[in-house]
């Protein structure tokens, strides 16, 4: 299994030379988005734009606290990251123990699912896992573990509690005092399992049944009620496009309205989001779509 080097940063890091970190090998970069009910990290936007400029994949995380209701915290996180194209899974950082911790974790995950269809990643320390009960762990399929043993691997953070809960370890924060070129701070290794489903572009198969086209990822899951960037149906993994799926996981086509914008997705056997000038034979006129497809 190949591992990808990554860093995680927040306002506590101050200004970070992301271009330098990326050129030194940091391909995946997690950014702090929110904490509690109201805090929004003012550095996130700048970090995000730098990641996009250099080609690094980025993700966002929320730091869970005891001082505000988990529903309000989930709303804060979901609202902050809405509209960004984060390639990595949104993450819930659970590392502070307090009364009703497990209740907060479970309520946060449930509330977040009301605002977003994205799957949450769990971040915590190996030594903190005993604070999380089976019900809390069952809310996650994947985990990013912290253990400062300076070992760039996943095996050293394997844990019976995670294994029994069926949780896949997709990241290891192995030091908080690492150096990567010009960057100093937290260093991590990740697998590509940390990539959000909608950005997994080559791992799966298009399938057709009586209800229409749908896409099955290699892990057996499928996109639903969301956009996904996928290979087009000629099985060329390098030729990808954006597709929109309904709540049952079936590919939508023709004209579709999403989040107040109209998109054209071609015919029933096409489904790929169109950009640029497109001629619609039904309306007998040309339409122009920008790079976002709107």
3-state secondary structure of 60: strand
Beta strands 276-280 and 28-35 are unpaired
3-state secondary structure of 230: strand
Q: Where in the chain are all domains bearing CATH 3.20.20.80?
A: 4-194
Greatest Cα pair distance, the chain, in angstroms, is: 64
pTM: 0.73
Concatenate the DSSP letters of all residues of 235-249 into one string. S-TTSEEEEEE-TTS
Instruction: Write the pLDDT tens digit of every residue in 69-113.
Output: 999 999 999 999 999 999 999 999 999 999 999 999 999 999 999
Q: Where in the chain are all domains bearing CATH 2.10.270.10?
A: 197-289
Instruction: Write the pLDDT tens digit of every residue in 240-294.
Output: 888 999 999 999 999 999 877 899 999 999 999 999 999 988 888 999 998 778 7
The CATH code that applies to domain 197-289 is 2.10.270.10
Fold of domain 4-194: TIM Barrel (3.20.20)
- pLDDT score, position 241: 87
Q: How far apart are CA 25 and CA 4, in angstroms?
A: 8
Q: How far is CA 74 from CA 9, 98, 137, 218, 290, in A?
A: 20, 18, 17, 29, 32
3-state secondary structure of 35: strand
Instruction: Write the pLDDT tens digit of every residue in 180-218.
Output: 999 999 999 999 899 987 676 557 889 999 999 999 988
Does an H or E element contain 211, and which?
none
């Amino acid at each position: 299994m190949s591992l990808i080097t990554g860093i995680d940063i927040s306002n506590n890091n101050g200004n970070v030379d992301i271009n330098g970190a990326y050129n030194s090998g940091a391909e995946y970069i997690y950014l702090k988005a929110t904490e509690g009910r109201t805090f929004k990290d003012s550095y996130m936007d700048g970090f995000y734009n730098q990641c996009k400029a250099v080609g690094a994949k980025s993700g966002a995380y929320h730091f869970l606290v005891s001082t505000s209701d988990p529903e309000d915290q989930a709303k804060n996180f979901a609202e902050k990251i809405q509209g960004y194209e984060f390639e990595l899974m949104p993450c819930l950082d659970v590392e502070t123990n307090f009364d009703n911790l497990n209740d907060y974790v479970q309520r946060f995950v449930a509330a977040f699912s009301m605002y977003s269809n994205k799957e949450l990643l769990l971040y915590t320390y190996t030594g903190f896992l005993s604070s999380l009960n089976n019900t809390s762990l069952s809310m996650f399929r994947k985990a990013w573990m912290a253990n400062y043993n300076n070992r760039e691997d996943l095996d050293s953070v394997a844990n019976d509690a995670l294994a029994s809960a069926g949780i896949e370890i997709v990241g290891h924060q192995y030091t908080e005092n690492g150096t990567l070129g010009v960057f100093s701070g937290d260093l991590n290794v990740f697998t590509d399992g940390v990539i959000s489903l909608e950005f997994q572009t080559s791992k799966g198969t298009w399938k057709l049944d009586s209800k229409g086209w749908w896409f099955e990822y290699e892990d057996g899951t499928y996109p639903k009620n969301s956009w996904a960037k996928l290979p087009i149906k000629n099985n060329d993994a390098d030729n990808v496009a954006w597709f929109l799926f309904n709540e049952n996981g079936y590919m939508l086509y023709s004209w579709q309205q999403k989040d107040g914008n109209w998109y054209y997705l071609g015919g029933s056997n096409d489904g790929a989001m169109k950009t640029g000038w497109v001629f619609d034979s039904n309306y007998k006129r040309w339409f122009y779509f920008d790079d976002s497809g709107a």
